[in-house]
Amino acid sequence: MHVVIIGCGRTGSALAVRMDGEGDQVSVIDIDNTARSRLPTGFGGAFLHGNGIHTQLLEAAGIQHAEALVALTANDSANIVAARVARHAYQVPRVLARLHDPAHAQAYHELGIATIGSVQTTVNRVVQVLHHLTLEPHQTFGNDETLLVRSRIPDYLDGRQVAELNVPGEIGVVELTRQGHSRIPEPTTPLEPGDVLSFIVAAGSIGRLHSFLDGKWS
Amino acid sequence: MTRVIVVGGAGLPDQVAAALRNAGDEVTVITGDPLVPATLETAGALKADVLAVLTQSDEDNLVISLLAKRRFQIPRIVARVNDPANEALFDSSWGVDALVSPATTLVSMIKATP
């Protein structure tokens, strides 16, 4: 895919190198010309010096044909403007912007701009890891509001039905691995020792799932 | 009497605010982060006739204008363009009713000098 990255800092340059290495067509824009030094000599994409909201520069970066734009500058407003220009003026299908100040989250939300790398995301993740060591999320969705986690079921749940672990709006069992084979279980499927379950969990309910698996029904 | 909210600090914004006050307008100068909803609301955005967005960041001016137009439907939003290359962005799609571009104004005056 052709991706335009605004901001060639640590994250922007690392993303550019990664996507270039995966065969994507990458254009990186930075207002600081020295930022190009973060790109290695073998980098196959383009570096453009200038302001990532200038339409001339965006067009030089191929925004008309871009399938994605990622705004990673240190400035929330610059990220919002770049993201919205990409979406509305150039109909770029995938647009992501970094959010630095949590106080600006509502502004991004109101303008329909998907955010990444926010302080809130990091905080959520750290709390998850610190509090729930056994429930490492395999995947998170949206802004980490829901998570996919896997866990071996404790012995005391032997014979319980899958449906007993489902809590509407909070916890749902989506997959069962038994003796190396994966399947989507029925609500009435009885659990057996050694079963590993995949759960989709609301971020606020991870503690509740943890309690289930610790043998504390709440 | 016109109710005006001015966004932006020392320099031009303060001078504009002072001049409007002298002209009899009711002027509120924003303190705090204008990208946070409560800031403009506290400044009386729901009853304002005009919002003058005059910071030295074009990106801030665009985002503030758009959020203010959407949230508070302020009838007239005047925004400052610092970099003439950004002038094309300052239109109704960003909530801007009128733009002020000091650099462009100066250039046209200099060019007009015989």
Q: What is the pLDDT of residues B38-75, one digit of tens each?
A: 999 999 999 999 999 999 999 999 999 999 999 999 99
pTM above 0.90, yes or no: no
Q: How many residues does chain B have?
A: 114
Q: ipTM of this model?
A: 0.91
**Mind listing the domains of chain B with CATH numbers?**
3-112 (3.40.50.720)
Closest CA in chain A for residue B66: A111
Mean pLDDT estimate for chain A? 90
Q: Which of A55, A75, A101 sits opposite B88 (nearest CB)?
A: A55
Degrees to nearest 5, angle at CA A41 with A28 and A73: 25
Q: What is the pLDDT of residues A68-91, one digit of tens each?
A: 999 999 999 999 999 999 999 999
Residues in A closer than 8 angstroms to B70, CB to CB, are: 110
Nearest to A206 by CA among A127, A143, A115, A102: A127
Contact A81 B62 (CB under 8 A): yes
Architecture of domain A2-117 in CATH? Answer: 3-Layer(aba) Sandwich (3.40)
Give kind and range of the element (H or E) at residue A129: helix A119-131
Give the pLDDT mean for A198-203. Answer: 92
Give kind and range of the element (H or E) at residue A69: strand A68-71
Q: What is the pLDDT of residues A122-152, one digit of tens each?
A: 777 676 666 554 566 778 888 888 999 988 8
Give the pLDDT mean for B12-41. Answer: 93
What CATH class does A123-214 carry?
alpha beta
In percent, the amount of chain A with pLDDT more than 90 equals 65
What is the interface size between A and B, counted as CB pairs within 8 Å? 52
Helices (H), chain B: 12-22, 37-42, 58-72, 102-112
Given pLDDT bands bounded at 50, 70 and 90, which one contains residue B1? confident
Q: Where are the domains of chain A?
A: 2-117, 123-214
Residue A68 forms beta bridges with which residues? A3, A94
Contact A104 B36 (CB under 8 A): yes
